[in-house]
Amino acid sequence: MRYLNIKDRGKIGLEFIINNLNTISSYGNLKKKDIAPIEDSETLEKTFDHLEFFIKKCHENKKDIQKIELLLMKIKNISNIVLNLKKGKILDEVQLFELKINAMIFMEIKDIVNNIFLDFFHLVDLSPIIDILDPELKKIPTFHIYNEYSNKLKEIRYKKAEIEKSIFSTIDNELQLRLKEERREIVVLENCEESQIKIEISKRLIPYTSNILIDIERIKNIDFTLAKAKLAIKYNASRPEIGEYIEFIGMFNPEILETLKIKNQEFQKLDIQLKKGNTILTGANMGGKSVILRTLTLNLILAQMGFYVFSDYAMVPILKFIQFLSDDIQDVSKGLSSFGAEIMKLKEITGCLKTYDKGFIALDEFARGTNPSEGKKFVKGLSNYIKNFDSFSIMATHYDGVVDDLTPHYQVIGLKNIDFNNLKRKIDLNNQNSILLIQKHMDYSIEKIYSNVEVPKDALNVATLIGIEEDLKDVIKNLY
């Protein structure tokens, strides 16, 4: 896939977002399953306009929105009924009932939507369908083959009722048998007439199938856009600007945010800007480099799909592909090591670079699965290679010597500014929660680096804080 495979979508938290996108109707659920990136800037801006409008209405017209949601809950999927009708299939009574009920619900939604929403979401008038299916003009949610459809049917049913009265009133067994036989003949006539009426009703409904399908599509868009609006409101998401580079201020990942809430912790929001070419991200162990890449990738694909993004401000370009390569990739089924699987994925990525004019690539600890000497060369070579294309890339690495003066460089602040001795004392007093205490004191924000500094060497510090043996620590320290 050009825009992440299913596994990578799960890794970055996209599945969490989709699962929390609370569409109500079966139509909205179908729309949710078919979410796709939008590659046309005009269409994407229009999608953002619609979402902005819905967010406004959620605040200003709460009662109307609640009424729409209640009506959406009542809708059943009648798409197949309508499509079969359009092809000339004769509908049975159950299908005619479903068509009538849903047309009535659509009309109720129309009365609200056409007053408060943009023309793009306005529903078409389905009252002619209701008139056909409600000849008694009672406007009640029931349907059967009414006498009003045919004088002949009315006469047949009258005769049947008279015969039934006679059957129940007579005690003559022989007469009763004759009457029952007459009733069977009448029922055959009734069924034939009802079948003819269903044929005529279906023919009368065919001209309105296009209008029903229009309303179904608009219901899909209403339900789906309303779900996106509520998600944006829940997380105070923002409308991204479409531009020539990537920038996020106050960026976060809702899935990780919710996980941290359970632990009474907060997500440390992130600021980042990427220009075309490659950007290097370095940082200490446990510093959250992977979280940064996944959060960035998540927000980029959401913007591309017409969602508000999880940040205070965002600038995004139109991307023709999004690829994510993580350090835990492997394909046991093909007998590939992690490095072998990385190279297979890399072939896909370079194919995108050569085929499409602008995209985004996130590489999390690429070449970690090979020896450090060769791994460093692969990372530096790939970084230089990507610069030749009109795309955006960010590469998290633990290798020194990869960044040159022309390569933008961000670094996770990590444990750089902490009082190490003070933290060590806290951990010594509560050794069972050493990891949690380190995480609480870790600075997960990133800073732009303007000089060719080495990758932070916090592994020994982390090991010391957790409680590595002193004599082992001394041996390792002498090797630095």
Q: What are 187-221's pLDDT values in tens digits?
A: 999 999 999 999 999 999 999 999 999 999 999 99
- Tell me what the mean pLDDT of segment 323-337 comes to: 62
Please count the structural domains in the chain.
Answer: 2
Q: Are residues 117 and 252 in the same domain?
A: no
Q: How confident is the model at residue 181 (pLDDT cuts 50, 70, 90)?
A: confident
Q: Return mean pLDDT, the chain.
A: 87
Radius of gyration of the chain (CA): 33
Q: How confident is the model at residue 333 (pLDDT cuts 50, 70, 90)?
A: very low
pLDDT at 477 over 80: no
Q: Give residue for tokens 């989709």.
A: 18
Q: Which domain holds residue 372?
A: 241-477
Q: Are residues 200 and 282 in the same domain?
A: no
Q: Are residues 345 and 364 in the same domain?
A: yes
- Is 160 within the bounds of a domain? yes
- Is 3 within the bounds of a domain? no
Asked which of 235, 251, 270 is the last residue of a domain, the reply is: 235
Q: Are residues 394 and 462 in the same domain?
A: yes
This prediction's pTM: 0.87
- Is 415 within the bounds of a domain? yes
What integer pLDDT is reported at residue 417 of this predicted model? Answer: 60
Asked which of 190, 207, 235 is the last residue of a domain, the reply is: 235
**What percentage of the chain carries pLDDT values higher than 90?**
60
- Is 109 within the bounds of a domain? yes
pLDDT, one tens digit per residue, over 248-267 is 999 999 999 998 888 888 88
Cα dihedral sign for 217, 223, 226, 231? negative
- Tell me what the mean pLDDT of segment 14-22 comes to: 95
Q: Are residues 471 and 337 in the same domain?
A: yes
Asked which of 307-311, 382-386, 433-437, 445-449 is least confident by mean pLDDT, the reply is: 433-437
What integer pLDDT is reported at residue 127 of this predicted model? Answer: 96
- Tell me what the mean pLDDT of segment 208-235 comes to: 97
458, 398 in Cβ contact below 8 A? no
Asked which of 119-128, 157-166, 217-226, 366-375 is least confident by mean pLDDT, the reply is: 366-375
What integer pLDDT is reported at residue 46 of this predicted model? Answer: 97
65, 57 in Cβ contact below 8 A? yes
What integer pLDDT is reported at residue 427 of this predicted model? Answer: 62
Q: Where are the alpha helices (DSSP H) in 123-172?
A: 127-133, 151-169
Q: Which two tokens stand for residue 244?
A: 């020539």
